[in-house]
């Protein structure tokens, strides 16, 4: 399954249908080849339900006496995977972390729907390449025809499975929803992707029936809130509606959003009027806030207008703490502010703050981790280029998520100057205080005062 599907919002669908089987117990077990951690977690929605340790043979098992039928997910290390569990199921898996999705196999009672969904996601990964490279360039009618072919083909496979394996009502529904919303999402994206690829004007008037499915879209079903294909569809749909709405009534000129502030507030108001279900609404509001704030390009005044609007519309948002923290963090990273006083460790093991490092000089901070040797090579090369053309700057490397020996070894084997290399031990603190949201981030300071807190090593203007 596409791991990218799982970045923020994971899975679900609790179904209320009952499947009569001999025992209500659910048994879920398996073997992990090349384990990357000691545990396996089982979750539903955004909550972890249970976890078990791997035994000495890298095997695990969950015994779940009172679990509702529905879609769950399990994870091991950084890998996530959906699993549908119904009463009386006894499911075994085997997977190799070296090749997670492709190696996974379900067997035992209840495995049919799981293998079906897995096959669907793998097939969709392939199809997506074709859609991105070819279909999005087609005209709307051709595109619609292709997407409908793919969708009906998958529904036909599902009904074939239904006749062979007697799926429960819940299994049938979840599979249908996943198939339908996966393809509807492509349709919502079509106008933008088509323009990007062909350079043609955005098609704001689609042929009749192109969006026919919209009349059946239901944003009130709480069982779907954490289902990734559905959530992705909701995001694309809202983007589409706000863009078209803005184009007709407000600030789009030459097909460019003139004001990100306006466009994102327009989106908030649309979510407010269209979505009733509390969690879905909270999650979508959060998504708009994160995207807008993390662009990092808007002024402090505009950020404030946005956050005030956000508070007005979503005062009980379950992500409020996180959003407020992000807003504060971004405020502290604006030009003219002192760089946050994060503590890092120098090559001799002494603690030193970023303000001390940046005092009385011009500094460009860049970041790297021992996890990616290739990126490290790129960034070292880039530092050496930039140092030649910007001799008045000190280029300071901040390492994260790397053990001491690896860090020292990598620095020593490179051409980097040890005296400008530091290590942040608390990655969470680093991401929070410096709004570290992309690895090529670069922060430019002059006498510890921020000049640009949101540029990259490749975009920076010195
Ligand atoms: Zn607007």
Q: What is the pLDDT of residue 252?
A: 64
Number of domains the chain is built from? 1
Q: How far is the CA of 227 from the centre of ligand 1 (A)?
A: 28
pLDDT in tens, 136-155: 999 999 999 999 999 999 99
pLDDT in tens, 338-350: 999 999 999 999 9
Q: Can you tell me the mean pLDDT for 168-184?
A: 96
Coil/strand/helix, residue 447: coil
Per-residue pLDDT for 389 more than 90? Answer: yes
75 vs 297 pLDDT, higher one: 75
Per-residue pLDDT for 68 more than 80? Answer: yes
Annotate 216-280 with three-state secondary structure. Answer: HCCCCCHHHCCCHHHHHHHHHHHHHHHHHHHHHHCCEECCEECCHHHHHHHHHHHHHHHCCCHHH
Q: How far is the CA of 254 from the centre of ligand 1 (A)?
A: 14
Q: How far is the CA of 243 from the centre of ligand 1 (A)?
A: 7
Other CB atoms within 10 A of residue 278 CB: 13
Q: What is the pLDDT of residue 21?
A: 46
Q: How far is the CA of 304 from the centre of ligand 1 (A)?
A: 18
Report if residue 248 sits inside a domain: no
**Residue numbers of the domain that contains 371:** 343-456
pLDDT in tens, 187-242: 999 999 999 999 888 888 889 899 999 999 989 888 899 999 999 999 999 999 99
Report if residue 413 sits inside a domain: yes
> Are 201 and 255 spatial neighbours (Cβ–Cβ below 8 Å)?
yes
Report if residue 427 sits inside a domain: yes
Q: How far is the CA of 264 from the centre of ligand 1 (A)?
A: 8
Report if residue 132 sits inside a domain: no
Per-residue pLDDT for 284 more than 90? Answer: yes
Q: How far is the CA of 207 from the centre of ligand 1 (A)?
A: 24
Residue 127 CA, chain-centre distance (Å), reads 20
The pTM for the full model equals 0.81
Q: Can you tell me the mean pLDDT for 70-96?
A: 92
Q: How far is the CA of 247 from the centre of ligand 1 (A)?
A: 7
Q: How far is the CA of 282 from the centre of ligand 1 (A)?
A: 21
Q: What is the pLDDT of residue 84?
A: 96
Q: What are phi and psi of 49, to 5 degrees?
A: -95, -35
Per-residue pLDDT for 404 more than 80? Answer: yes
Q: How far is the CA of 260 from the centre of ligand 1 (A)?
A: 10
Among residues 103, 82, 102, which one has the least CA distance to residue 28?
A: 82
Reported confidence tier of residue 253, pLDDT bands at 50, 70, 90 = low
Q: What are phi and psi of 21, to 5 degrees?
A: -135, 170
Per-residue pLDDT for 265 more than 70? Answer: yes
Per-residue pLDDT for 115 more than 90? Answer: yes
**What is 25-68 written as a DSSP string?**
-EEEEEEEES-SSSEEEEEETTEEEEEEE--TTSEEEEEESS--
Residue 318 CA, chain-centre distance (Å), reads 18
CA distance 286 to 214: 23
Report if residue 446 sits inside a domain: yes
Q: What angle do CA 170, 76, 434 make, to 5 degrees?
A: 110
Helix (H) or strand (E) holding 209: none
List the structure tokens of 352: 């030193």
Per-residue pLDDT for 294 more than 50? Answer: yes
Domain containing residue 356: CATH number: 3.40.30.10
DSSP state of 443: E
Report if residue 259 sits inside a domain: no
CA distance 261 to 3: 31
Q: How far is the CA of 245 from the centre of ligand 1 (A)?
A: 6
CA distance 423 to 357: 13
pLDDT over 90 percentage in the chain: 78
Q: How far is the CA of 335 from the centre of ligand 1 (A)?
A: 28
Q: Classify residue 249 by burial, with Cβ atoms within 10 Å: 0-12, 13-18, 19+.
A: exposed
List the structure tokens of 295: 């662009």
Q: How many helices (H) and strands (E) does the chain have?
A: 13, 18
Per-residue pLDDT for 15 more than 80? Answer: no
Helix (H) or strand (E) holding 22: none
Q: What is the pLDDT of residue 223?
A: 85
Per-residue pLDDT for 13 more than 50? Answer: no
Report if residue 373 sits inside a domain: yes
Q: What is the pLDDT of residue 221?
A: 87
Q: How far is the CA of 266 from the centre of ligand 1 (A)?
A: 5
Residue 263 pairs in a beta bridge with none
Report if residue 83 sits inside a domain: no
Query: What distances in angstroms separate CA 25 from CA 19, 64, 345, one per listed residue?
Result: 12, 6, 52
Beta-strand pair 351-353/449-456: unpaired
Q: How far is the CA of 273 from the centre of ligand 1 (A)?
A: 14
Work out the mean pLDDT of the chain and round it to a whole number: 90
Per-residue pLDDT for 14 more than 70? Answer: no
Q: How far is the CA of 315 from the centre of ligand 1 (A)?
A: 22
Q: How far is the CA of 258 from the centre of ligand 1 (A)?
A: 10
Helices 427-434, 320-331: crossing angle, 10 deg rounding:
70
Reported confidence tier of residue 172, pLDDT bands at 50, 70, 90 = very high
Least confident of 4-8, 268-272, 297-301, 317-321: 4-8
């Amino acid at each position: 399954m596409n791991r990218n599907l799982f970045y923020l919002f994971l899975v679900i669908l609790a179904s209320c249908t009952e499947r009569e089987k001999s025992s209500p117990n659910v048994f879920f077990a398996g073997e992990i080849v090349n384990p990357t951690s000691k545990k396996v977690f089982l979750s539903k929605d955004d909550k972890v339900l249970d976890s078990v340790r791997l035994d000495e043979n890298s095997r695990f098992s969950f015994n779940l006496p009172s679990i509702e039928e529905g879609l769950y997910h399990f994870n091991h290390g950084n890998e996530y995977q959906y699993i549908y569990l119904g009463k009386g199921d006894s499911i075994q898996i085997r997977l190799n972390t070296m090749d997670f999705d492709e190696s996974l196999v379900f067997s035992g009672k209840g495995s049919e729907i799981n293998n079906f969904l897995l096959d669907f996601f793998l097939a969709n990964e392939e199809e997506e390449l074709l859609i991105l490279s070819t279909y999005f360039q087609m005209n709307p009618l051709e595109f619609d025809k292709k997407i409908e072919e793919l969708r009906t083909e998958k529904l036909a496979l599902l009904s074939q499975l239904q006749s062979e394996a007697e799926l429960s009502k819940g299994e049938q529904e979840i599979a249908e929803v996943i198939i339908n919303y996966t393809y509807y999402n492509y349709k919502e994206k079509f106008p933008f992707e088509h323009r990007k690829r062909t350079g043609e004007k955005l098609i704001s008037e689609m042929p009749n029936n192109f969006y026919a499915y919209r009349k059946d879209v239901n944003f009130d079903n709480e069982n779907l809130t954490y289902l990734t294909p559905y959530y992705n569809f909701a995001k694309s749909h809202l983007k589409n509606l706000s863009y078209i709405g803005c184009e007709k009534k407000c600030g789009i000129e030459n097909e460019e959003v003139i004001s990100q502030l306006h466009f994102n507030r327009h989106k908030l108001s649309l979510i407010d009027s269209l979505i009733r279900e509390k969690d879905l609404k909270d999650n979508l509001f959060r998504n708009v806030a994160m995207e807008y704030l993390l662009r990092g390009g808007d002024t402090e005044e505009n950020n404030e207008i946005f956050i005030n609007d956000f508070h007005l519309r979503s005062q009980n948002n379950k992500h409020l703490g996180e959003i407020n923290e992000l807003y504060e963090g971004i405020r502290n990273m604006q030009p003219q502010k002192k760089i946050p006083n994060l503590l890092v460790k120098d090559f001799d093991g002494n603690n030193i703050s970023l303000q001390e490092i940046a005092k009385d000089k011009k500094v460009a901070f860049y970041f790297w981790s021992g996890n990616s040797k290739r990126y490290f090579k790129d960034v070292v090369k880039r530092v050496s280029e930039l140092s030649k053309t910007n001799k008045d700057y000190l280029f300071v490397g901040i390492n994260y998520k790397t053990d001491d020996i690896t860090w020292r070894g990598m620095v020593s084997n490179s051409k980097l100057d040890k005296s400008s290399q530091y290590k942040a031990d608390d990655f969470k603190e680093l991401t929070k205080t410096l709004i570290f949201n992309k690895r090529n981030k670069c922060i430019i300071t002059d006498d510890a005062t921020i000049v640009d807190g949101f540029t990259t090593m490749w975009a920076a203007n010195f």
